[in-house]
Chains A and B, each alone.
Chain A
């Protein structure tokens, strides 16, 4: 296929995040050793700026190449280091995920398939709750779709949510597949990056705060192991969305 030549453009996104390192600045009365250690062990530079004690505990600012990306209260950032039960579940206190993602997104991560599924579920859940916009999910192989049937059945029921599913066509085309998810747009693409990358991109449905994406490449010679990132940056999400829309 003519696309083979440019087939690894998704990798450019991963490479860019890997090189476009973020810096975390903790504005607080005292240096926060726990936060610093957490992020420094993940290759993120952490700086401290003293702040008079006003009882708020201060805040944490994330920059990329000197550009402001976002900030969160330090009491929230601390929960990345010591999550409370509510942060780990997929149920209550959804609001916490947004600031958490800002920080999670500073980390270039390795996933196994279970972690990918859990992270994907968060993004799917966000799309479900917002019920509008565009969700693009790459399952590597379309034969994986039936496992996600319950979730995606619910997603395609949202009339204002546009669901696109990508994968290698390893299931019979036609009625069977169409019958599974009649309201989703299926992109059967037998190209290397679609086979290698797991992705899920939600454009936020008009709200940049809700935009998020996960992109991970299966590691050569280590099936089931992935390298990639989870981004909350609306620009990166939009770039991914545009790329997938234009290419497949």
Chain B
């Protein structure tokens, strides 16, 4: 994992006077009310809102290693991945994928683009990770670790191999 020590180097661009955001982000507590940087805590809130939905979470996971991806690719990835995380043995049909594609285009990607982490070009249908990943990385790592516990317990085992990395 190693996300906890993700640097704070870029953070200064957007919020020079808070040193506490990392701890807050890991507990999910917004620091705005108790005098810590409201701007950063807004971002943390936005990120947790983004992560609260499984579609958006998977988009963030996927974009993290690629920076940008087009809508077709994201529809394929999110529909396939959702099914892989489900306990049943069904397949994803072109119709299923189309449904996910529509939801991504009209709801999930615009919602992600409301945060400072993702931009979505509706014309070109390309989503891009923006700015620093310093805030994003440890939270996504933590979220993935949580998923591994949850998904792994869906049917009492993990997927066949390849879970470690």
Contact = CB atoms under 8 A, between A and B. Distances in A.
Nearest to A208: B93
A142 interface: no
A208 B94 CA distance: 10
B129 to A, nearest CB: 13
A96 B89 contact: yes
A45 B79 CA distance: 22
A42 B75 CA distance: 28
B32 to A, nearest CB: 30
A71 B89 contact: no
B65 A29 contact: no
Contact of B61 (A54, A69, A71): A54
Given A51-B62, A71-B83, A72-B83, A57 B91 contact: no
A69 B149 CA distance: 31
B158 interface: yes
Interface size class, chain B: 35 or more
Contacts of A72: 80, 83, 91-92
A178 to B, nearest CB: 40
B151 interface: yes
B113 interface: no
Interface string A1-34: 0000000000000000000000000011110100
B13 interface: no
Contacts of B162: 28-30, 32, 53, 57-58, 74
Contacts, number: 123
A102 B26 CA distance: 42
Interface string A92-121: 010110110010000000000000000000
Nearest to A70: B91
Interface string A192-210: 0000000000000000110
A28 B165 CA distance: 10
A56 B159 contact: yes
Contacts of A78: 160
Contacts of A102: 91
Contacts of B83: 59, 71-73
Contacts of A99: 89-91
Pick the most buried of B84, B149, B163: most chain A CB atoms within 10 A of its CB.
B84
Nearest to B75: A68
Contacts of B158: 55, 57
A208 to B, nearest CB: 7
Interface in A60-96: 60-61, 68-76, 78, 93, 95-96
B80 A27 contact: yes
A146 interface: no
Interface of B: 61-62, 64-65, 72, 76-77, 79-81, 83-86, 88-95, 97, 140, 144, 147-152, 158-165
16 contacts: A32-B162, A50-B65, A52-B64, A53-B164, A54-B151, A55-B158, A56-B81, A59-B80, A68-B94, A70-B93, A74-B84, A78-B160, A93-B89, A95-B88, A208-B93, A208-B95
Given A54-B148, A54-B151, 5 more contacts: A52-B64, A52-B144, A56-B81, A58-B159, A71-B97
